[in-house]
Structures are given as C-alpha cells and as structure tokens.
Amino acid sequence: MRHRLPPLALLAAGAMVALLVLLPLAETLLRAGRIGATGAASLLLRPLVGVLLYNTLILIAAATLAAGLLGTAAAWCVERTALPGRGVWGVLAAAPLAIPAFVTSYAWVSLSPGLQDFNGALLVVTCAYYPLVYLPVAAALRGLDPALEESARVLGAGAWGCFFRIVLPQLRPALLGGMLLVALNTLTEFGAFALLRYRTFTTEIYAEYRVSFDGAGAAVLAAVLLLLCLLCLLAEEWLRGRARYGRLGQGTRRAARPQSLGRGRIPVLAAFALLVAITLGVPLGTLLFWLTQHATAATAPAGTAWGPLLAATAASLGLGLGGAALTLLFALPLGVLATRYDGPLITLLERCAYLAQGVPGLVVALALISLTLDALRPLYQSTALLLLAYAIVFLPLALVGVRAALLQAQPALEEAGRALGLGWLALARRVILPLAGPGLAAAAAMVFVSVVSELTATLLLAPIGTRTLATQVWADTATLAFAAAAPYAALMTALSLLSAWLLARRFGRGGIFAVG
C-alpha cells in the first residue's frame, strides 16, 4: 500500500542524496562553463578531439553490436535448446562479469602487445561485458510464454521467422537494456583502455588532469562525455518505444520445451567451449601463468613479498565494506520513498539518483577534487571523500537491490505495526529492515564487489600511500611488470568470483532482482 505524504525527515534524507548525485554533474558543467565559449571551442576543435570521438563511437557501436549478438545467441542456446549441460554453460556464460575489464585487458596484453589497438579493445570489452546482455535476455526468455511461438508455427512461420517476428520483439526491453549497459560501460571504461593504449575520452580526461591540475580541459572533455552518456540513454528509450509487453490472458505461463539441436549439437558445444576459453580461460590461465613466474622470480626473503599484498588486500576490503555501508545508507531512504509513497517529487528524486548510472567515475572524482580544493580542502585526498565517490557512482546498483527487496516486504505487516502505534523510524527498524534484510545484504554485497575492483576514482581520490588491489595491478602493469601484478589481480578476481558465486547461490532462483 502506498501513501501520499512521506515523513518530512525521510523526504529530506532522500532529497539530500539526490542533491549529492547532482553535485558532480553541476560542478563539471560549471567548471567547463568558466573557460568560456572561445576557450571551449579551441579545445574541442582540436584534431585530437575528433580522433577521440571517432575511437569512442566506433568502439561503442562495434562492442554493443557484438555483445548483443553474442549475449542473445548464448541466452537462446541455454534457455531454449536441449544443449547438454546447459545449466553449467549458463553459469560459465555469466561468470566473465565477475572479472574486472582491466584484468581481462592485463591478461590479453601480457600475451600479445600487438593487441594494443582497436581490435584488442573490441575483444576485451566484448568478453567483459557481453554477460550484461546475456543475463537479462536469458531472464526474458524464461518468462516468455511459448504459446506465442506455438501459434506462429501453427500459422506457418518457420523457425527463423518465428524468432524474428515473435520472439525478438518480446525481447526488445531486455536486449536494449543490456546493450545500453554495454554502451555505458564501454563509454566510461578507463583501466582497460589505458592498458591497451587505446585513446578514448576517459583516457584523455585522465591525461589532461595529470598534465594540468586546473582541470579546465578535463572539465570540457568530461562535459562531452556526459553528453554522450545522455545520448545513449535517450537512444535506448527511443528504440524501446512505448510498446507494451505484458501478457493479457489469464492463466499461467508454461515452460518452453527445449528444442533439439540435431546436427548442430556438436558445433554449438564447440562454440560454447571456445567462448568460455576466450572469456574465462585466457584471463584465468594467464593469471595462473604469471603467478608461477612470480613465484619463480621471487628472491626476496620470505614475508617481504606478502607485506604489500596483505596491505593492499586490507585496504580493498576496508574500502569495500565502507563503500557498501555508505551506499546502502544512501539508497535506503530513496528505496523506502519509491516503494511506499507516491507523488511527482518522489519520482523526481528517484530519477535523479539513477542519473549516476550515466556518470563516469572519472567525472565524479574530478568534480569532487574541484569541490574540495575550492571549498572543503580538509576533505581533499581523504578516505571520507573516496567513500562518498563510491556511494555516488554505485548508488543506482544499490538502489535497484534495495527497491526490489523492499517490494517483497509485506505491506500488511507494516500496516499492523502502524496500528500498534509504531512511528516510521521504529517501523523501519523493527519491521521493514528485518523483512528486507537478505535483499539488502545482497545489494550491499554487489556494491562491495564493485568497490573492490574500482580503479578510476581510487586512483584520483585515495589518500597518499593507500594502495588497493586494483591500483597495484594498474601500477605494475603500467610498467609491464606482469608477474608482479599477478598476485594482486588473482586475489581481486578470486574475491569477485567468490562473491558472485555466493550471490548466485543465495538469490539465483527467484531472487530479489526478479522483482520488476
């Protein structure tokens, strides 16, 4: 049951979180505006900007198309065919999402420096991000009523005609949503492209900041990057259109009968084996190889090699826990407002929070640096500022989980609590939070995994002397010290894979994110 008037304190908390999300955007645009039209034109009309625009757009187009085709094909084979061991193949198809993109680039570059070009960048981002298409499309196929396809076949449609005319239009929201995530992640990726020496807006923004600390050039390029993110969001909404995809008939959906692969069984199995070998085998195998090289080359006394690794692990875990806690704290008031109250102001606050999905971590970090240098200098290069950056960047991720978890908490129990005289704060503490606890824990765990592997904001905002697993991998691979980077990359990958496995095991069937 939804109510019209939220408590003033809850509304104020939600408004403060929304303003924090808008703050980096406003600072970036204001800082870019200070340079003036003439200065901005001189910066943007350089041949370099044309190269950056071409590199970025051509890679987004190619990676989005490749991930869309690969993710949809994998989802169809797993969900709609009698593929032997399709449950195992489904897990393996989603697993690359747990390996950070810059670790994947580290693996490929250490194998062949010749991949430091467009082809290498396309290979890395496709391997890293195609699960963003696979997962929603697979979920949509599981929920699609097979009666639609059966009716089309009865009317004479062939297998391909049935897919393109019946199934694919029903998959449009999931497919376009996944492709949007691929485009946004490609647009905002930094670490992978820096290692691949592939120049995009993110790599050039970082270079501009390192060369000129006034941030004028970086702010102008960041404003262009924000515009590109906005265009991606608008393009996805336009392509999705206003079509309705809900089922109008009564009754329950039947599970689709798996289609026999016939003679295609062996080729499909070979294709899946090749996919797993490229997306998982190469990164994990390369890490294992460099770990053995590191162990062979280690000549330092026992214990000295473990010190930096343990320190980086402790820093990553500490920042991960702190970032997850703060992000969840920010997401809770917005989640309660979005699921328990109605009104245009509530909708506006929620939409503002989701804007962070299209704001690169690099832009957020640079904006916070400018703000602290101008007005809050004691916060500059502090842990608190870094945690704030994490909370802003990963707020949409936490909000999706919080919103879904709160929707599963039974409103009748809340009404009973109100009838017993509980205020909204006591109601949240004694009723809502215990009911939604598992879902909130899952949301926090996803943020924790993201923070542990985050690179850009950590590079710019971490206190002097702080080294995390991600920044240590970056520092070592930048100097081609692949063996030295291997223990840090392996441990970070292990943490991500373990967390992803635990989440899949706990919430894989009918989990919290099945709620729309």
413-442 pLDDT, tens digit per residue, is: 666 766 666 666 676 667 666 766 667 777
> What is the pLDDT at residue 248?
45
- Residue 439 contacts residue 405 (beta carbons within 8 Å): yes
> What is the pLDDT at residue 352?
81
CA angle 132, 193, 97 (to 5 degrees): 25
323-364 pLDDT, tens digit per residue, is: 999 998 998 888 888 877 878 888 888 778 877 776 778 888
DSSP state of 432: I
Q: How confident is the model at residue 81 (pLDDT cuts 50, 70, 90)?
A: confident
151-160 pLDDT, tens digit per residue, is: 655 555 555 6
Residues 230 and 49: their CA atoms lie apart, in Å, by 19
DSSP H stretches of helix in 34-85: 36-44, 47-80
Query: Does the pLDDT at position 3 exceed 80?
Result: no
- Residue 133 contacts residue 140 (beta carbons within 8 Å): no
| Length of the chain (residues) | 516
265-322 pLDDT, tens digit per residue, is: 888 889 989 999 999 898 889 888 888 876 555 544 444 467 788 888 899 899 999 9
> What is the pLDDT at residue 69?
92
Burial-class residue 141 by CB neighbours within 10 Å (0-12, 13-18, 19+).
buried
> What is the pLDDT at residue 322?
92
For the ranges 45-54, 215-224, 491-500, the one whose mean pLDDT is highest: 45-54
Tell the residue number behind the tokens 């707020």, with chain if given. 395
> What is the pLDDT at residue 250?
45
> What is the pLDDT at residue 124?
92
Q: How confident is the model at residue 509 (pLDDT cuts 50, 70, 90)?
A: very low
Q: What is the mean pLDDT of residues 88-97?
A: 84
User: Tokens standing for 98?
Assistant: 């747990």
- Arch. (CATH architecture) of 46-242+267-289: Orthogonal Bundle (1.10)
Query: Does the pLDDT at position 214 exceed 80?
Result: no
The yes-or-no answer to whether 1-25+298-516 and 46-242+267-289 have a common fold is yes
Query: Does the pLDDT at position 256 exceed 70?
Result: no
Q: How confident is the model at residue 512 (pLDDT cuts 50, 70, 90)?
A: very low
Q: Where are the domains of the chain?
A: 1-25+298-516, 46-242+267-289
Mean pLDDT for the chain overall: 78
Using alpha carbons, list the distances in angstroms from residue 134 to 67, 70, 127, 144. 8, 8, 12, 15
Residues 503 and 41: their CA atoms lie apart, in Å, by 48
> What is the pLDDT at residue 144?
67
User: Tokens standing for 59?
Assistant: 């890679």
Amino acid identity for residue 355 in this structure? L
> What is the pLDDT at residue 508?
45
Amino acid identity for residue 207 in this structure? A
Q: Which fold has domain 1-25+298-516?
A: MetI-like fold (1.10.3720)
Q: What is the mean pLDDT of residues 62-79?
A: 90
Residues 177 and 172: their CA atoms lie apart, in Å, by 8
Nearest partner of 80 among 8, 139, 155, judged by Cα: 139
User: Tokens standing for 399?
Assistant: 């909000």
- Residue 23 contacts residue 362 (beta carbons within 8 Å): no
User: Tokens standing for 163?
Assistant: 């897919």
> What is the pLDDT at residue 304?
44
Residues 472 and 311: their CA atoms lie apart, in Å, by 11
- Residue 361 contacts residue 24 (beta carbons within 8 Å): no
220-252 pLDDT, tens digit per residue, is: 888 888 888 888 877 777 776 655 544 544 444
375-406 pLDDT, tens digit per residue, is: 777 887 788 999 999 999 888 888 877 777 77
> What is the pLDDT at residue 162?
65
Lowest-confidence pick of 35-44, 84-93, 123-132, 463-472: 35-44
Residues 327 and 455: their CA atoms lie apart, in Å, by 17
> What is the pLDDT at residue 67?
92
Burial-class residue 101 by CB neighbours within 10 Å (0-12, 13-18, 19+).
buried
> What is the pLDDT at residue 391?
92
Q: How confident is the model at residue 514 (pLDDT cuts 50, 70, 90)?
A: very low
